[in-house]
Amino acid sequence: MMAFTLELDDDQVTVRDWLHGFAAEVIRPAAAEWDEREETPWPVIQEAARLGIYSLDFYAQQYADPSGLGIPIAMEELFWGDAGIGLSLVGTTLAAVSVLANGTDEQIGTWVPQMFGTPDDVKVAAFCSSEPDAGSDVSAMRTRAVYDEAKDEWVIDGTKTWATNGGIAGVHVVVATVDPALGARGQASLVIPPNTPGLSQGQKFRKHGIRASHTAEVVLDGVRVPGHCLLGGREKLEERLARARERAAAESRGDAGQRGRNAAMATFEASRPAVGAQAVGIARAAYEVALDYARTRVQFGRPIIDNQGIAFTLADMRTRIDAARLLVWRASWMAANNRPFTAAEGSMSKLYAGETAKWVTAQAMQILGGNGFTREYPVERMHRDAAIYTIFEGTSEIQRLVIARTLSGLPIR
């Protein structure tokens, strides 16, 4: 196990500074344009691919960092540049991580490289889980996958929503119910290859923020994929379903406790610090704009930072940002070193970082006054982008529920 430290090594500093330069020189100059266009910033993605940032190798190296800090460092710098473009650059990793976590070696080697494409022909991938009636309540999922044994194919029907890169992706990874009687335990993930008949883009969402990131519905109408597209394979699925049926039977007798649900919660917990790191990047960017503005904006003969009301707000902004980063780094280190989240530390990091991003960007707008409300300054865009961080990847209310259940050991509703 690697010891927890706040000192970055030389490699981490090099990566951080490299990404910061890319964010400052490539992402930021393009941010306002792609926010207004509400389109995927393909030229930025291609430039990132050319430099090696948008690639399987880059993200794999960051995930492999034994300190756990590779991913949060990368996320903070990219989202310091811009959240919408940042999501366009990292959205593919949602699908890639799903395959890496659940797929066989053959599936990983086949599908993950296709998700990124090449610098000359970049691709994106989509992870499709949420549904119109199944967001936080994953047990309400209606998308079905039925196995056609005669043809060794899975037939998938349903509608997914809030899918990053949904419809424009080459490879889609879809979570579907294979045994409705088991609820969330009866679900599996399947890869849908490029150009598969029956998959289409539904509504593209026009969003309040993160507008450079494509978000849409994905409609699955009789989609057929080969049996080998089931992540992990059918044998592994049948073994897992058999265990789930045994657990469900035991719970119905009242002798199984909460072990199954806690194990699932721990899996979700491990992914939340990366989202928290994105929020830290947005908050830091807004704070820096506000600090610079307060130093140079003169009212009544002196810079406005000379007023305690402004100076104290900036002090609180910086304090909350640093506290959020520490929570993210702690949870990231714990996940990388297989330390159990006994106090829902993953949810703590995402909750506090998301709330911090909303609060800090709001204060930045206030410090800039009327200028903060215009698109001449970036803080209004940052404030719009920050709003999603108390909503997606588990709302703040869901994070508090997870934390409260973990601390109390009770099924709080």
State pLDDT tens for residues 383-393. 999 999 999 98
Active site residues: 393
210 and 37 Cβ atoms separated by less than 8 Å? no
Res 266 pLDDT > 90:
no
Res 258 pLDDT > 90:
no
190 and 156 Cβ atoms separated by less than 8 Å? yes
Q: Radius of gyration over alpha carbons of the chain, in Å?
A: 22
276 and 349 Cβ atoms separated by less than 8 Å? yes
What is residue 161's predicted lDDT score, i.e. its pLDDT? 96
Instruction: Out of 3.30.70.20, 2.30.130.10, 2.30.30.280, 1.10.540.10, select the CATH number for domain 10-122.
Output: 1.10.540.10
Average of per-residue pLDDT across 240-262: 72
Largest CA distance in the chain: 82
Res 138 pLDDT > 80:
no
Distances in whole angstroms, Cα of residue 11 to Cα of each of 17, 202, 263, 348: 10, 43, 34, 28
Residue 135 pLDDT level (bands cut at 50, 70, 90): confident
Select the more confidently predicted residue: 253 or 307. 307
Please tell me if the domain spanning 10-122 has the same topology as the one spanning 259-408.
Answer: no
Res 81 pLDDT > 80:
yes
Residue 279 pLDDT level (bands cut at 50, 70, 90): very high
Average of per-residue pLDDT across 14-38: 98
319-342 residue pLDDT tens = 999 999 999 999 999 999 999 999
Tokens 């215009």 belong to residue: 374
What is residue 32's predicted lDDT score, i.e. its pLDDT? 98
- Tokens at 317, concatenated: 């902004």
Look over the chain and give the mean of its residue pLDDT values, rounded to a whole number: 94
**Closest to 378 measured CA to CA, from 290, 298, 278:** 290
Pairing outcome for strands 199-204 and 187-192: unpaired
Residue 134 pLDDT level (bands cut at 50, 70, 90): confident
- Tokens at 216, concatenated: 């849409």
**Closest to 174 measured CA to CA, from 205, 151, 196:** 196
Average of per-residue pLDDT across 292-313: 98
- Tokens at 261, concatenated: 């649900």
355-374 residue pLDDT tens = 999 999 999 999 999 999 99
Q: How many other CB atoms are there within 10 angstroms of residue 4's CB atom?
A: 15
Q: What percent of the chain has pLDDT over 70?
A: 96
Res 102 pLDDT > 80:
yes
256 and 250 Cβ atoms separated by less than 8 Å? yes
333 and 68 Cβ atoms separated by less than 8 Å? yes
Its sign, for the CA torsion 378, 381, 386, 392, is negative
Res 223 pLDDT > 50:
yes
What is residue 400's predicted lDDT score, i.e. its pLDDT? 97
Average of per-residue pLDDT across 104-131: 96
Q: Which fold has domain 259-408?
A: Butyryl-CoA Dehydrogenase, subunit A; domain 3 (1.20.140)
Distances in whole angstroms, Cα of residue 144 to Cα of each of 157, 170, 176, 274, 317: 6, 21, 5, 30, 46
**Where does 126-252 sit in CATH, by number?**
2.40.110.10
Q: Could you tell me the residue ranges of all domains in the chain?
A: 10-122, 126-252, 259-408
Residue 249 pLDDT level (bands cut at 50, 70, 90): confident
Average of per-residue pLDDT across 110-127: 97
What is residue 206's predicted lDDT score, i.e. its pLDDT? 97
